[in-house]
Every structure is written in C-alpha cells, then in structure tokens.
Structure 1
Amino acid sequence: MTAEKSPLYEITADLLDGHPLKLSYFAGRALLIVNTASQCGFTPQYAALEQLYRDFNPRGFEVLAFPSNQFGNQEPGTAADIATFCERNYGVSFPVFAKIDVNGANAHPVFRFLTGARRGFFGTKRIKWNFTKFLVDRSGNVVGRYAPSTEPAKLRDMIDLLLKQQ
C-alpha cells in the first residue's frame, strides 16, 4: 500500500490547540502512535518518547500522542493542562492531539484503524491501558503493536530499520 492510499492518511484529528490536522501531513514518515495519560504509572515514558523523537525526527520519524481518559481517570485535565504538563515535565516537542476515546462506540477513527490493523494479546482489538504503542511504516501500514510496559527505547532498532527502508 502506498502512503497516498493508506486509510490512516484520510483521518483528521484535532491537536491540543483545537486545530484539525489531516494525518496525510505525516505521509512518507514512520510513526509511533501512543495513547497517553498524565497521571499514569507509565507517564514517565514521555521522556523516552521525546528522546526517540529527537533522535529520529531528522530522518523522517514522528511520535503522535493521543491523550485518553478511559483508563482509571488518569487524564482528567483540559487541553491546556495536558499541554502544560507535557512541556513542563518532559519537554515534549512532538505533536500531542486532543483527548480522545480509544475504545468503544466513541473510539477515535485513528484508534479504530490501528486496532483493526494490529490486534493485541489473544487477538483482541481493545486497548488495555495507557501507553499502548503502534509503529507505522512510511506507507501508513501498522507494523507493530506494543504493550504499555514496552519501554520506548526497546523500539529503537525497529524504528531505525523502518527509516532505512524507502
């Protein structure tokens, strides 16, 4: 599938500031898409995600964060609260989108696409917790799904491999 034809790139999502962004903006780049939360035991992964972004962004890599409050009310804040938290505590410079649902009838189309393309443990589509990660190649294909406990640094080799492919 070419980047121009991937269904992922037809989806639009609002950034934290409320501006809509069509994901075709990221066509041709490798992506790590993560559902995040500010008050989760995995929240310190923001630092490792930022490091991946800084290390690989010049080569065509993006981290896309999608805050969600669906797990233990761990992202209760407003968009402004989330933006301030991410910047102040972790120096996040990668795109953070508006808070969304990742499961259920109101699941955002991004996560409906991701979970449909790559199922989790025991074949489930459902996101189990915050900081589930999806690795997407330059053509918009989901090539990996990783549990919240998977440290972002463990994805370095796979990201490097994706960036070497044209």
Structure 2
Amino acid sequence: MKNNNTLARISLLFLSLSLAFSALAADGPTIYLVRHAEKVIEDSNDPALTEVGQARAVTFAAMLHGKNVSHIFSTPYMRTRDTAAPTAQEHGVSIEEYDPDQGQKLVDKLKTLTGVILVTGHSNTIPGLVNLLSGESLQDLDERVYDRVYIVTLDEHGHAELDVTYSEPRTPLN
C-alpha cells in the first residue's frame, strides 16, 4: 500500500511538472476532460456520486490545485456537477452547463477561451470531445472506467497536444 501511495505521488509530481512546462509554451487553453466520478447504481436517470466518487471528485480538485482554473463545464446532471463541485469551490468558479448532445458547440466555445478549463461529462461523451479537440480517435469509455483524465493543450494556432493520466480517489493516509 505504501509503494502505491509513493508511486501515485511521484506520478502526480511528474504530471504536474510536465503540465506546468506545457502550459508555459501554450497561448491557448489547457482543458482537463474527465468522466463523472463513480455513481450510485440505481434506476434514476440522475444518480448521485458514491463515497468513492466523492473522493475521486476531491482528487480531481487536488490535481488542479494551484492551476488557476478559469472555467468549468458540466452536463446538467447531478453526477457531473458533483464531480466538478470541489474544483469549482476551490477556485471560486461557477459551473457552466452544456448539452452533452452538442459536443461541437462546446468545443467551438472552448477554443475561444484561455487558461485552465475543467470539463466533466460521461463515458460516451468525453472521448468524443477529446477527439474533436485533438484529432484523436478514442473509443467510448467502458462503463467501469472512472479514472481517466484527458488533458488537451491548444497552442495559439489551434494545434493540440494530448496527455492522458489516471486518478485514484484520495483516502486518508495512515
């Protein structure tokens, strides 16, 4: 367990350093795209996050700590808003809703912005947004996958650099 925590910390440090240098070189936005965190399995179309999901939402906020987040976008569902909420609270930024069926419209807006941006979505929408921003050909996420963090950095000419990382929900250290 200790080795996993150490490895996770080293990975997070490496990611933070590489992103800091990437951000310095880019005049366009740096966009973090994440699927909502773990949700309660129920018959509702708008389920809440589980405890693990709430912990993962805090982990996403920790990844963006000190990054001066300027915009946060979420679909109009509790699970995506709750995933973005810790980051919004830490940065004092309101969560702007977008229609998950209007991906190109959101991408067009994202390309006009600068700074660090968080976008929360779903297993079948986040890969599509990444594809529209970066020109990649990602497939929809498996329903059991919640840990991917896609980071698209756009330069002043609209050229994209894609980094993919993973997050583990934060738990108190023993």
**TM-score (norm. length: structure 1):** 0.40
**TM-score (norm. length: structure 2):** 0.39
| Greater Rg by CA | 2
